[in-house]
Amino acid sequence: MRQAVMTEPEMIEIREVAAPLPGPNEVLVRIRRIGICGSDMHVYHGAHVFTRYPVVQGHEFSGVVEATGEQVAHLKPGMKVTARPQVVCGECRPCRRGDYNICDSLKVQGFQAPGCAQELFVTAAERIVALPDTFTFEQGALVEPVAVAAHAVRRAGRVDGTNAVVLGAGPIGNLVAQIARASGANVLITDVSDFRLEIAQACGLQNTSNAGRETLADASRRVWGQDGFDLAFECVGIEDTITAAVENIGKGGTIVAVGVFPEKPRVDMAVIGDRELSLIGTLMYKHEDYLRAVELIGRGEVVTGPLETKHFPLNDYLSAYRYIIQQAGKCMKVFIDLGD
């Protein structure tokens, strides 16, 4: 079978390797779509500090069950599926209390463990999530980032009836905004890219603001008047956006830090204390977030079509990365195709 191996930053080899076989509690999946995300791009640039080369990437995927191990009874060949890419110990304190997404020994397939960038992929049956037959393979590959967003929104606590700002309209910010909306929030999404804001509007997010032309304070007043907002999701990962959230959110508000910060930001803790703000972190997802993602996509409450930008075959994996770089702000989600 074909396998894409990133041998070093900016270098990918397509190799012929033996097809894997599933163990007793494992599933063999024929991969159909792989999504490329921002973390994959960090690996491409050699900027992901927790990834070593060579590495088989791929953690956002959909496919079809090819075969199952002898102990797997609930999954059958031909079923559409995706799977969580988390490899956890099950023994550390976070795992024992059910927070395996922050396992002390967490490994993520595609980064610290081999990913799914190959024609056939074996994974544990417990990590498999079945997809409706009506799902496209693109929707299936997007379940992973939707689950990231679902977990982030769940971390916020009360969402229904809140005025919520999402800072950053990239794929994760877009999906966070959609799930916050589906959870009953009144949502405003901001970005410096008109293209991303147009995609947000195509997904039904009508309250948008270009942060390069309108301050968050002005946008908040335009949308909510003097009420302002009491919930914010930082989905960029830079000091300017976390500062805007802290300075403008209402007293007693909640800020969820979703973005990955490549540099340590300065945060005004005096303001956080004085206004009794809650600053909450979020990492990855749990199985229930995957199920929630499938449910919301299936009901049409999360719209994924406008996020689909371009497709590349497995043999052109490297071209997909170069396209993302060339397109910069004109790109949302690029897929690797391995058949229909």
Residue 250: per-residue pLDDT: 98
Supply the pTM of this predicted model.
0.97
Tokens representing residue 133 in the block: 């037959």
Yes or no: say if 235 and 166 are a contact pair by the CB < 8 Å rule: yes
CA distances for 16 relative to 120, 142, 160, 205, 318, angstroms: 12, 27, 51, 44, 17
CA distances for 235 relative to 58, 67, 172, 260, 334, angstroms: 22, 38, 7, 8, 19
CA dist., res. 254 & res. 280, Å (int): 7
CA dist., res. 122 & res. 110, Å (int): 13
Residue 103: per-residue pLDDT: 98
Residue 328: per-residue pLDDT: 83
User: Residue 13 forms beta bridges with which residues?
Assistant: 5
Yes or no: say if 186 and 232 are a contact pair by the CB < 8 Å rule: no
Burial zone of 266 (CB within 10 Å; 0-12 exposed, 13-18 middle, 19+ buried)? exposed
CA dist., res. 92 & res. 100, Å (int): 9
pLDDT (tens place) for every residue of the chain, 340 residues total: 999 999 999 999 999 999 999 999 999 999 999 999 999 999 999 988 889 999 999 999 999 999 999 999 999 999 999 999 999 999 999 999 999 999 999 999 999 999 999 999 999 999 999 999 999 999 999 999 999 999 999 999 999 999 999 999 999 999 999 999 999 999 999 999 999 999 999 999 999 999 999 999 999 999 999 999 999 999 999 999 999 999 999 999 999 999 999 899 999 999 999 999 999 999 999 999 999 999 999 999 999 999 999 999 999 999 999 999 999 889 999 999 998 8
* CA neighbor of 256 nearest in space, from 228, 277, 226: 277
CA distances for 2 relative to 9, 30, 119, 202, angstroms: 20, 12, 6, 36
Residue 55: per-residue pLDDT: 97
Residue 232: per-residue pLDDT: 99
Yes or no: say if 123 and 83 are a contact pair by the CB < 8 Å rule: yes
